[in-house]
Chains A and B, each alone.
Chain A
Amino acid sequence: MSAVEVAAVEEEDDLRRVIDDDGKVISGASVPKISDEQLHKLFDTMLMVRIIDDRMMRIQRQGKLGFYMKSLGEEATHLSVFPLRDDDWVYPSYREQGAWFWRGLTIEQFLNQLFGNKHDPTKGRQMPVHHSANWLNCVSISSPVGTQIPQAVGTAMGMKASGTDQVAMTFFGEGTSSTGEFHVGMNFAGVSKAPCVFVIRNNGWAISTGTEKQTAAKSFASKAVGYGMPGIRVDGNDILAVIQVANEAVARARRGEGPTLIECVTYRVEGHSSSDDPSVYRNPAEPEAWGPRDPLNRLRGYLKGKRLWTEGMEKDISDRYNDEISKYLKLAEEHGEPDVETLFDDVYQDLPWHLKEQKEYLLSQARTKNPHLHN
């Protein structure tokens, strides 16, 4: 753990960092090995999240989309999935768009889910940002926070029992560390030495409730001690540090040495969701103070230093994503809702008699107009 000591910063001496706010490598910090191509892909993904977040919140404000959740300032934490293989599993919460895109979710699939249209991979079953992609081993998102934690551990226990070297990773916010499921999942993982990596996005806020109302512990990472696993605090706005600790945790799990808790210290620059108004409960100076620590800008600085970034390159990426979003947004709006018959699919594998009766009844009735249609 020498990198921790070397990379120490004044006020937070247990916080792992690799680059500073300008993207320069901190003196003595070890830099994870990442190819130029992968560095470009990381930048590309973070930029894409920022663009799509911005576009989606704007159309939400225009009344075209029911709900949205942005990740502004937290994009680097999503890329904790960097060291995972395709056959590893991810249990996300609702604010890790970058993890989905990194694993291969397309903009088209992403937008179709937001609109719950007939091409939504989850068939319009959940509100926006609750994705599911079994072809990517990314598991369906649940709104009640923390439920995915023991589930991820169960998957990891299954991996272990099957004799594979696969790894499960799960994400959640710091507020979720207050749930029973956090305790239960961490404890199961510690006891069973499950190959599971827990990533806390400590973004400072659980809707309107600050971290001091969630724990009296010194840090969220320190909770790992009680479960017999390592807890690592990392600067969640430093993509290189995030990847460095994820590399270590995933490698450790793969070696059969058990779970790790990672606390990514970051900041939720905007509201919890499109339904939130942070001006009611927090000082606007607070998000402003985090501006200089913006994770995309820090990666940009790092790439500049390596001569891997030009303004033209960034503009090309932005234009490409904006065009793609425009194209699929139009289609997503046009596709229309799923057929009414699908309401009864997937409750069970086969339709039991009572659902057959209810389906026949509904189909015999006049169709009800959707009062929430945005076009």
Chain B
Amino acid sequence: MPTMNIIQAVNNALRIQMAAEPKSIILGEDVGKFGGVFRATSGLYDEFGEERVIDTPLAEAGIIGAAIGMAVYGMRPIPEIQFSDFIFPAFDQIVNELAKFRYRSGGQYPCPVVIRTPVGGGIRGGHYHSQSPEALFIHTPGLKVVIPSNPYDAKGMLLASLRQDDPVLFMEPKKIYRASRGEVPEEDYTVELGKAKVVREGNQVTLIAYGAMVSVIEEAAAKAAEIGISCEVIDLRTLMPFDIETITESVSKNGRAVMVHEAPQTCGFGAEVCTSLYERCMAHLEAPIQRVCGFDTPFPYSLEHEYLPNADRVLGAIRKTLEW
């Protein structure tokens, strides 16, 4: 089985889908000849032609607006927003239009658009190349939100997103675009949306994260194991709809949990996860659920390393749940 990084896995999924579904159209800034600034669409322009891999004018509202028009017409558009920090000019098209098209038309116009966009910090990109705005979109009825943490899931969940009829915001953790490598089958396969993955089993504290933070909680779990603390590691993978069963089961079993994301803490997705867990696991909880998140500041440039959650901070939160 070949080894791929996330970029290669995404590229491979796109190639499979473009070949399998003639109605698929990729569009975005620099996605054509250049193959995207992160090279996720590399080679697809030559293979599928300029009518199906479209270098658009530089306007995110146009990219998403046009993708919506293609989707309601019956195409399967796959727009790329170059950085999720650049998604806001398209916010109205995504939140008011794309997400609501099926509902507001009484089910007449499903809108199967899969928006791919790199997300998160850790690349020294400063405020405009580092943010994690997922909560804004999870808070939008009608959208599904997916953030894979490894090449296998990236390919399988992208193909799964492209083969269902709801709009999906597919956020790719850019810090680990190339750093995360693993075995990825060449063939076509899907990984079901809405299912979390227990990455490591443990019986004292449940650690929950998604995207680039999964490797951080894995590292924290390894450090905890060295001092005799057993942690269960859960990769949420899909944030909307998220897998309530898997996390409820784990937290009910362990009675302690730490939620980690790099987006700002207040009203971040962790707030929803924690509340859902309190509603379901209160009788089993031994300590308040801890959150290790980005701070409620704009994303910094020079102090990025201080801003982002790391394994030591997660370990501190693990101790806190045990010592409470």
Residue A142 lies at the interface, judged by CB distance under 8 Å to chain B = yes
Which residues of chain A have C-beta atoms less than 8 A from B101's C-beta? Answer: 140
Q: List which A264-300 residues lie within 8 A (CB) of chain B.
A: none
Task: Return chain B residues, CB-CB under 8 Å to A89.
Answer: 73
Q: How far is the CB of B203 from chain A (nearest CB, A)?
A: 26
* Shortest beta-carbon distance from B262 to chain A in Å: 24
Residues of A within 8 Å of B165, CB to CB, are 349
**A192 to B166 CA separation, bound complex (whole angstroms):** 27
Give the distance to chain A from B88, nearest Cβ to Cβ, in Å. 12
Given A123-B106, A150-B65, are A155 and B70 neighbors across the interface (CB < 8 Å)?
yes
Q: In this assembly, does B25 line the interface, its C-beta being within 8 Å of a C-beta of chain A? A: yes
Which of B51-59, B219-227, B282-290 sits within the interface? B51-59
Given A154-B66, A158-B73: A187 and B57 within 8 A (CB)? yes
Query: Which of A161, A181, A187 is in CB contact (< 8 Å) with B25?
Result: A161
Interface: B9 (CB within 8 A): no
- Is there contact, CB below 8 Å, between B102 and A347? yes
Contact A184 B25 (CB under 8 A): no
Which residues of chain B have C-beta atoms less than 8 A from A159's C-beta?
A: 73
Residues on B lying within 8 angstroms of A by beta carbon are 23, 25, 51-52, 54, 56-57, 59, 61-62, 64-75, 77, 89, 92-93, 96-97, 101-110, 141-142, 144, 164-166, 194, 240-241, 244
Q: How far is the CA of A304 from the CA of B104 in the complex (A)?
A: 43
Listed by A's residue number, 24 A-B pairs whose Cβ atoms lie within 8 Å are A121-B106, A122-B106, A125-B105, A134-B105, A134-B109, A139-B72, A147-B65, A151-B65, A151-B68, A154-B65, A154-B69, A154-B73, A156-B69, A157-B54, A158-B74, A158-B75, A168-B69, A188-B56, A188-B57, A345-B107, A347-B103, A348-B102, A348-B166, A354-B241
**Contact present for B107 and A155 (CB under 8 Å):** no
Min CB distance B41 to A, Å, is 16
CB-nearest residue of chain B to A183? B59
Point out the residues of chain B lying under 8 angstroms from A157, CB to CB: 25, 54, 66, 69-70
B118 to chain A, nearest CB (A): 22
A159 to B, closest residue via Cβ: B73
Contact of B66 among A130, A142, A150 (CB under 8 A): A150
The answer to whether A187 and B72 have CB atoms under 8 Å apart is no
Residues of A contacting B56 in the complex (Cβ-Cβ under 8 angstroms) = 188, 191
Partner among B75, B93, B102, B241 whose Cβ is within 8 Å of the Cβ of A147 = B93
B192 CB to closest chain A CB (Å) equals 13
Is A149 at the interface (CB under 8 A from chain B)? yes
Complex Cα distance, B57 from A132, in Å, reads 29
Query: How close is A184's CB to chain B, nearest CB, in angstroms?
Result: 4
B42 → chain A, closest Cβ, in Å?
Answer: 21
Flag whether A133 is at the interface (Cβ < 8 A): yes
- Bound complex: CA A181 to CA B97 (Å): 13
In the complex the two chains form, what is the Cα distance from A261 to B9 in whole Å? 43
Question: Which chain B residues lie closer than 8 Å to A161 at the CB level?
Answer: 25, 51-52, 75
Q: Are A122 and B69 neighbours in the complex by a CB distance under 8 Å? A: no
Task: Write the nearest CB–CB distance from B279 to chain A, whole angstroms.
Answer: 10
**Contact of A329 with B by CB under 8 A:** no
Chain B residues, Cβ within 8 Å of A212: none
B77 contacts A154, CB within 8 Å? yes
Give the number of chain A interface residues (Cβ < 8 Å). 49
Instruction: Give the shortest distance, in Å, between B292 (CB) and chain A (any CB).
Output: 25
Given contacts A142-B97, A349-B164, A352-B241, contact A153 B108 (CB under 8 A): no
- Which residue of B51, B69, B104, B144 contacts A155 across the interface (Cβ within 8 Å)? B69
Task: State A160–B65 Cα separation when bound (angstroms).
Answer: 16
CB-contacts of A115-167 with B (<8 A):
120-126, 130, 132-134, 139-140, 142, 144, 147, 149-162
CB contacts (< 8 Å) of A352 on chain B: these are 194, 240-241
> Is residue A180 within 8 Å, beta carbon to beta carbon, of the partner chain?
yes
B72-A125 in contact (CB<8A): no
Q: Which residues of B contact A168 (CB under 8 A)?
A: 69
Q: Do residues B96 and A348 form an inter-chain contact, with CB atoms below 8 A?
A: no
Q: Does A353 make an interface contact (CB < 8 A)?
A: yes
Q: Given A134-B109, A158-B69, check contact A180 B61 (CB 8 Å).
A: yes
Q: A150-B66, A153-B66, A155-B70 are in contact. List 15 more A-B contacts (CB 8 A).
A: A121-B108, A125-B104, A140-B101, A140-B108, A142-B104, A151-B66, A153-B65, A155-B72, A155-B73, A158-B74, A161-B51, A188-B62, A349-B165, A352-B194, A354-B241
B residues less than 8 Å from A139 (CB atoms): 72, 105, 109
- Whether B70 lies near A140 (C-beta < 8 A) is no
> Pick the contact of A185 from B51, B62, B105 — CB < 8 Å?
B62
In Å, the complex CA distance between A140 and B72 comes to: 10
> CA separation between A348 and B101, bound complex, in Å?
10
A307 to chain B, nearest CB (A): 43
CA distance A122 to B57 in the complex (A): 34
| B73 surroundings in chain A (CB, below 8 A) | 89, 154-155, 158-159
Give the docked Cα–Cα distance between A84 and B183 (Å): 53
A142 near B69 with CB under 8 A, answer: no
Chain A residues with Cβ under 8 A from B65's Cβ? 147, 149-151, 153-154, 181, 184-185, 188
A339 within 8 A of B: no
- A151: which B residues are within 8 A, CB to CB? 65-66, 68-69, 72, 97
Establish whether residues A153 and B69, one from each chain, have CB atoms under 8 Å apart when the complex forms: yes
Q: Which residue of A lies closest to B64 (CB)?
A: A150
B105:A132 contact, CB within 8 angstroms: yes
Among all A-B residue pairs, the 5 with the closest Cβ atoms: A154-B69, A150-B65, A154-B66, A352-B241, A123-B106
Q: Which residues of B contact A156 (CB under 8 A)?
A: 69
Complex interface: chain A residues within 8 A of B23 (CB): 162
Minimal Cβ-Cβ distance residue in B for A140: B105
Contacts of B71 in A (CB 8 A): 154
Most A C-beta atoms less than 10 A away, residue of B72, B89, B92, B106: B106
Please indicate the chain A residues that have their CB under 8 angstroms from the CB of B241 in the complex. 352-354
